[in-house]
Structure 1
């Protein structure tokens, strides 16, 4: 699936990923490839991005807000205050604050 994370300041992330774990307003949930279409309000928490198994991202390529998970280099994390998620046809867009 393709993920794009956008903030008012910049596009933080734009790439193929294996899965996304987000803090939804009614609880945390995960999306995998071919997930049903969804629109959700996100609350304060951590977005976890499981990188595509073929993808190689280097620390220098990351914007300041994204970080590698301390226990797994194939997981990126992003702390958000709030946001909105739209997922449709294997493309996810997160508008984060």
Structure 2
């Protein structure tokens, strides 16, 4: 599935991922390939992204923390998420 993480300043990430875990207002949840359509509000917490490879723009690379070669995390203060047709869009603050 395609993940796009956008902040008011820039697009932080866009690429093919295996899964993404998000801090929802009612608790953390994970989205995998072919997940049902969903729209949700996010609270302060950690976005965890799993993929076979990552490519970051130099300007935003420092916002992500490397866990290992296939996992990175991003701290957010709030946001929204939409999943539809195997495309996840995260609007993050």
In structure 1, what is the equivalent of residue 9 of structure 2? 9
Matched length? 93
Normalised to the residue count of structure 2, the TM-score between the two structures is: 0.91
Give unpaired runs (5+ residues) of structure 2.
none
User: TM (normalized to structure 1)?
Assistant: 0.88
Alignment partners' CA distance in 2, 1:59 and 1:6 = 13
Q: Deviations over 1:9-55 (max 9, x none)?
A: 0000000000000000100000100000000000000000001x3x2
Name structure 1 gaps, 5 residues minimum.
Answer: none
Any conservation in 1 of the 2:21–2:28 contact (CA below 8 Å)? yes
Deviation at 1:92, TM superposition (A): 0.3
Cα deviation code 1:33-85 (max 9, x no counterpart):
0000000000000000001x3x254795852211211xx22101000000000
Pairing of 1:41-80 with structure 2 (within 5 A): 41-51=41-51, 53=52, 55-57=53-55, 63-69=61-67, 72-80=68-76
CA distance in structure 1 between the aligned counterparts of 2:10 and 2:56, rounded to whole angstroms: 19
